[in-house]
Amino acid sequence: MAPIQRKGRGSQPKAAGTIQTIPTFPSQASTSYKTENVSTSEGQPDGYPSGVVLSVHPAWPDLGINQGELFFECTLFLYSVLALFLQYLNLYKSLWWLPKSFWHYSMKLHNINPYFLSCVGLLLGLRVTKCFWSTISYIFNNICEGRSSKWRQALSLIQYGVVKVPMTTMILTSFFFSFTRIVREFPSSAVIYFLFPPFVYSILFFHEIQQRLAKVLKKTQEVLRKDASPSEIVDVLMEEDAGWLDLDTVAHMCSGVASQARQEIDVLLVDVFLRIKRCVFAGLSTAFLSIFLPLAFLPWQTSVGLPQKVLINEVWQIQMAFIVFCTAFTHYVTYLFPLHYLDFMYRSAIHMGRWEEEPPTATTITSNLAKKIPVVVHTIPHPTIIWSRHAAPYPEGTVVEIDGGKRYKAVPISNKLRTISAQPGNIYHALFAFWCSSPLSLINMLCISQFILIFIQFWLLVLTLEWQHILTLVFLMFANYLLLGKLFKDRVIIQRVYNPSTEDLALIEQVGINIQNIIVNKY
């Protein structure tokens, strides 16, 4: 793997930040996504101490279909607004369809609190605002590159005085004005629910918050010493969390050194867990703000002060929250786990392999019924060796023993590479090998989960009789259909890369011939 750089969260360009690198080794052979550098060492079998192996991975095409972060966050924000609108439709529906109804509209709009709606909308758009801030910083940093100090000062003044400061002022002013009105109109027990998203975030990302606070403290000290400008403190608060692998600069390390393969997996596991936590928080926050929070701020009295109560279908609310959570979670997974990231995981899993625990050695005592002579039958085990983290990758079928007397047998994941670099007894290595044993395993799981979710919604649509439930399920199903279509398209791409059909191979050959003819005619 090329030097692993921890930078932004996806393939999008980010503002300048701290970059941590893991040292590379002189014996490694890099395999990039766009080209496959095939290297061998004479006299050494594949996967042994030379550290250089023959590449066993197909070349990954440059698809160029990664969506930008700002576009993705805007898409998720629109889905959140749709879920919030459908929740209001279910809560404040009217009997407008009756012949002599007092209501001329489908919703009781006077029951909707505009201040609460403003607060929830701003909270749902918080990620969009943060992403827009980072995009503005990136654009102005590119413009300032190579300019004189006067140009940089002028552009910095425009950046903060015209764009960032007015935008931040309007958002904060609107939020705090609306929040103060909510505090006055609703009991304190309801206002406490606003603290749930920050509480969950602090639990899931406690380590990242500590790192962010340390950076802010360090930057504040630099500002006090006049070594930095105060605007840099805000940039530190708005920058992306540290720890993401930048997929544009990270490539798989096709190495035959077992320690390097395990190091790659350990770094990749940390990144995978961080991305999964981000997906879980996105799903929880979207479902909480769009579905649950409006239930906590129902109008409890009329405009003239009389008490009123809004009837709630608890089962239906749970179903809506579950659908919104699963959809937002899967939508975030499709962004944080793009196709080349899934390919990256599968390549690493091939080099790791897996270990199967061998049953303990048994001694069987039987008796000869004819002569009544006991016969002791010993089960002869395979010859074992002590596993060492400094050893070369173990060949297929090797039986090793670890501390505690447990014995494991080496089992490869792919027929292309029959050596094992994983650590026996390591549950994380075993889970990684299980989920990444096939390039299609993860994408198949996502497709199946979306299909099941669509089937559940369709079944609810068949059973429901209320018009607001029908509209809700139709709109939510439409979003899931779009998501399923994207997942299925990704699955087709991965399948054609790893298992191309005869037509695909003929098309690739034809495209290569056409490109070669164009180059010859041009030069």
Residue 404 pLDDT exceeds 90: no
383 belongs to a structural domain:
yes
pLDDT more than 70, % of the chain: 73
- Residue 298 has a pLDDT of 83
Confidence of residue 20 (pLDDT cuts 50, 70, 90): very low
CA-to-CA dists, residue 390 to 6, 22, 30, 363, angstroms: 27, 19, 21, 34
Position 120 scores a pLDDT of 93
Name the one residue in this structure whose structure tokens are 């060796």: 385
Average pLDDT over every residue of 451-477: 92
Please determine, for residue 78, whether its predicted confidence score (pLDDT) is greater than 60.
Answer: yes
Count the neighbouring beta carbons within 10 Å of the beta carbon of residue 186.
19
Q: Is the dihedral of CA 132, 136, 137, 141 positive or negative?
A: positive
The pLDDT tens digits for 300-321 are 766 666 677 778 888 999 999 9
Rounded CA separation 325/520 (Å): 55
Is the model's pLDDT at 500 over the cut of 80?
no
pLDDT at 66: 62
Model confidence band, residue 51 (pLDDT cutoffs 50, 70, 90): very low
Q: Is residue 348 part of a domain?
A: no
**Domain enclosing residue 402, as ranges:** 355-428
pTM of the model: 0.78
Mean residue pLDDT of the chain comes to: 76
Distance between CA atoms of residues 101 and 53, nearest Å = 77
Which pairing describes strands 419-420 and 407-411: parallel, antiparallel, or unpaired?
unpaired
Asked, for residue 112, whether it belongs to a domain, the answer is no
Residue 279 has pLDDT above 70, yes or no: yes
What pLDDT sits at residue 317? 92
Render pLDDT for 146-166 as a digit per residue (tens, 0 to 9). 777 788 888 888 888 888 888
Round to whole Å and give the CA distance between 247 and 500: 25
Q: Express each pLDDT in 174-195 by its tens digit.
A: 999 999 998 888 887 778 888 8
Percent of the chain with pLDDT over 90: 22
| For residue 326, pLDDT beyond 90 | yes
> Does a structural domain hold residue 369?
yes
**Secondary structure E strands in 20-105:** 20-21, 30-31
* Rounded (10°) CA dihedral 178, 183, 185, 186: 120
Neighbours of 367 (CB within 10 A): 10
CA distance 297 to 91: 11
Instruction: Report yes or no on 370 lying in a domain.
Output: yes
CA 294, CA 113: separation in Å to the nearest integer? 10
Lowest mean pLDDT among 46-60, 125-139, 330-344, 500-514: 46-60
- Give the model's pLDDT for residue 514: 56
Mean pLDDT of 26-54: 38
Give me the pLDDT at residue 190, please: 78
On the question of pLDDT at 83 being above 70, the answer is: yes
* Lowest-confidence pick of 52-66, 213-227, 259-273: 52-66
Residue 204 lies in a domain: no
Residues in contact with 176: Cβ distance below 8 Å, sequence separation at least 6, in sequence order: none
Average pLDDT over residues 220-229: 77
In a domain, 416, yes or no: yes
Structural domain contains residue 422: yes
Distance between CA atoms of residues 328 and 281, nearest Å: 10
Over residues 108-127, mean pLDDT = 88
Check residue 484 and give its pLDDT. Answer: 93
In terms of pLDDT, which residue wins out, 330 or 301?
330
Q: What is the pLDDT of residue 227?
A: 73
Count of structural domains, the chain:
1
**pLDDT, average across residues 409-436:** 81
Q: Identify the band that residue 6 occupies on the pLDDT scale cut at 50, 70 and 90.
A: very low
